[in-house]
Amino acid sequence: MSNPSNATDARPAITTLSEDELAFRDAVYDFAQGEIKPLTQKMDEHAELDKSLLPKLFEMGLMGVESPEKYGGAGGSFFMACLAVEQIGRVDGSVSVLVDVQNTLVTNAFIRWGSEEIKSKYLPKLAREWVGAYALSESTSGSDAFALKLRAEDKGDKWVLNGSKLWITNGKEAGVFIVFANMNPSAGYKGITAFIVEKDFKGFTVGKKEDKLGIRASSTTELLFENCEVPKGNILGEVGKGYKIAIETLNEGRIGIGAQMVGIAQGAYDAAKAYVQSREQFGKPIASFQGVQFQLAEMRVQLEAARLMVYNAARLKDAGQPFIEEAAMAKLFSSRAAEKIASMGIDLFGGNGFTREYPAEKFWRDAKIGQIYEGTSNMQLNTIAKMELTES
C-alpha cells in the first residue's frame, strides 16, 4: 500500500501493516466472526449485550490492548487497539464501541494520567475482569463539554459527588468509571477534576438505559450521584486538571471512533458486495450491471479514504507526533463515509435492505451515531478550522 503525504505539513501517512499487526487483525476478525456474529441479531433485538461475550473479550486480550504486560495487558500499541475496534465493527458496532471505550478512553487515560498506585490497582482489573466507562456528558453539557453541573466537595477524608451524568457508554456493564466533576465552580473549567468511581461506591447508582436507534446492544445510561463518597486518593491526574485529561483523551478517542466507523463501513460493503453477486434480475447477477458496479466502486473509494485517514492519525499518535487535526479529520470523514456506504448498501439490497432479515439496515443504524458521539461533526469542523487558521 502506498504512503501518501499529508498535504498540510508533509508528515508521512504510514498505512502499511507489519506481520504482527496483520496476524492480530486477522485473529480479531476470526474471533468476531466466530463468537460475536451468531449473537448480533439477538443482541440488537433485545438491546442487550450477551453476557457470554465479556469473558471471551477479556480472554482474547481485547480489553487491555495497550495496557503493559506487567499489569496483565497485551502490551500493544494504540494502532493495534484501533485495529481491534475496526475488525469487531465489521461484525457488530455495539461490541466494537464497548472495546473502543475500554481501550482508547478508559485504559488510555489510566496509563497516561494514573499514579503508579492507581495503575497497579485498576489496570489489572481492566485487563482481566472489569469494564470501564468514561463519564463526561451531562444533560446540559454535550458539545459544551465543560458546562458541568456535577459537583464535588472536599470533606477532608473523602470527596462527595452530587449530580448526574447522561449518555454514558458501557454504563450497565462497567465496574469502574472515570467521572468528571467540578470541585470549584467559581474557577470555571479549572475546577474540573477526574474522579475514579467504582460501581459499588456508596451514593452511586446506574440510572435508566437509553432505547436507541443503533448500537442497541451497547448500554448507554444515566449515572446518579447522591452524596456519592469517593476515597481521597481516587483522583486521576491532579485536582483541577480534569479538563486537560478530558480534552487530550477525547482527541485520542476520536481516532477509535473513526476505526469503529471504518469497521462498520467495511461490514456494510462486504454484505452489499456479496448480495449483488448472488441476487439475479433479468437472468443474471445484478453485479453485472454497470450502474451497480459504479455504486460498489464509489463505496470502495470512500472506504479506502476513510481507512487511510484513520490509520494515519493512529500512527501519528503512536509516533508521538501532532495528530489532533488528523484525528478530527479522520472522525469527520469516516463517520460520513460509514453512513453513506451503509445507505448505499441498503439501496443495493433493494426491498430486502429495508427489512431486518438482512444486515444492511443494521449497519446504517449503527453508523449514524458516528457523527454525534465523542464530538459532533460540527465540533470536528470547528477543530479543523481553528488549527488551519492558527498555523504559522
Examine the pLDDT at 224 and tell me if it is beyond 50: yes
Q: Which fold has domain 244-389?
A: Butyryl-CoA Dehydrogenase, subunit A; domain 3 (1.20.140)
* Active-site residue (options: 86, 304, 374, 391): 374
Residue type at 232 in one-letter notation: K
- Average pLDDT (347-354) is 98
Is 21 noted as a catalytic residue in this protein?
no
- The pLDDT of residue 259 is 98
- The pLDDT of residue 189 is 92
- The pLDDT of residue 15 is 61
Please give the Cα distance from 233 to 371 (Å, whole number).
36
Annotated domain spans of the chain: 19-131, 134-240, 244-389
Examine the pLDDT at 5 and tell me if it is beyond 50: no
Examine the pLDDT at 3 and tell me if it is beyond 80: no
Q: Nearest to residue 276, comparing CAs of 359, 349, 354, 358?
A: 349
N- to C-terminal Cα distance for the chain? Answer: 32
- pLDDT digits over 294-334, tens only? 999 999 999 999 999 999 999 999 999 999 999 999 999 99
- pLDDT digits over 90-148, tens only? 999 999 999 999 999 999 999 999 999 999 999 999 999 999 999 999 998 888 878 89
User: What superfamily would CATH give domain 19-131?
Assistant: Acyl-CoA dehydrogenase/oxidase, N-terminal domain (1.10.540.10)
Reading phi first (left if > 0) and then psi (alpha if -120 to 50, else beta), residue 33 is in alpha
Strands 220-231 and 158-169: antiparallel
- The pLDDT of residue 273 is 98
- The pLDDT of residue 2 is 38
Q: pTM higher than 0.85, yes or no?
A: yes
Examine the pLDDT at 4 and tell me if it is beyond 50: no
- Domains 19-131 and 244-389 in one fold: no
pLDDT band at 10 (very low <50, low <70, confident <90, very high): very low
- pLDDT digits over 200-222, tens only? 999 999 999 999 999 999 999 99
- The pLDDT of residue 145 is 76
- The pLDDT of residue 290 is 98
Strands 131-135 and 174-182: parallel
Instruction: Confirm if 62 and 29 have CB atoms less than 8 A apart.
Output: no
Mean pLDDT of the chain, nearest integer: 95
SS (H, E, C) 259-289: HHHHHHHHHHHHHHHHHHHHCEECCEEHHHC
Backbone angles phi, psi at 91, to 5 degrees: -105, -45
CB neighbourhood size of 113 (10 A)? 21
Dihedral angle at the C-alpha atoms of 249, 255, 258, 264, nearest 10 degrees? -90
- Average pLDDT (164-168) is 98
User: What superfamily would CATH give domain 134-240?
Assistant: Butyryl-CoA Dehydrogenase, subunit A, domain 2 (2.40.110.10)
Please give the Cα distance from 351 to 334 (Å, whole number).
26
For the packed helices 360-368 and 324-349, what is the interaxial angle rounded to 10 degrees? 150
